[in-house]
Amino acid sequence: MYVCLCVGVTDRDIANAVSDGARSWREVRETTGCAGQCGKCACTGKSVMREAISQE
């Protein structure tokens, strides 16, 4: 599923960033580029990140 349409970031991209060690929204943003433009995806992106971290 696409989380960020501006940059083209999927939930899997976010999960991969977490697998690679990202543990904060800032780190996920830096790794994936998510929320780098309009920012409307930030809430969904954070939820996906928290879910991925909880499954680590």
DSSP structure class, residue 4: E
Would you call 8 helix, strand, or coil by DSSP?
A: coil
Q: Which is nearer to ligand FES, 5 or 50 (CB)?
A: 5
The footprint of ligand FES on this chain (CB under 6 A) covers a number of residues equal to 12
- CA dist., res. 51 & res. 25, Å (int): 12
Phi, psi of 23 (to 5 degrees): -130, 10
Q: Mask 1-40, x = binds ligand FES (CB under 6 A)?
A: ---xxxx--------------------------xxxxxxx
In the complex with ligand FES, the residue whose CB is nearer, 12 or 38, is: 38
Place of tokens 């977490």: 18
Interacting residue ranges for ligand FES, rule: CB under 6 A: 4-7, 34-41
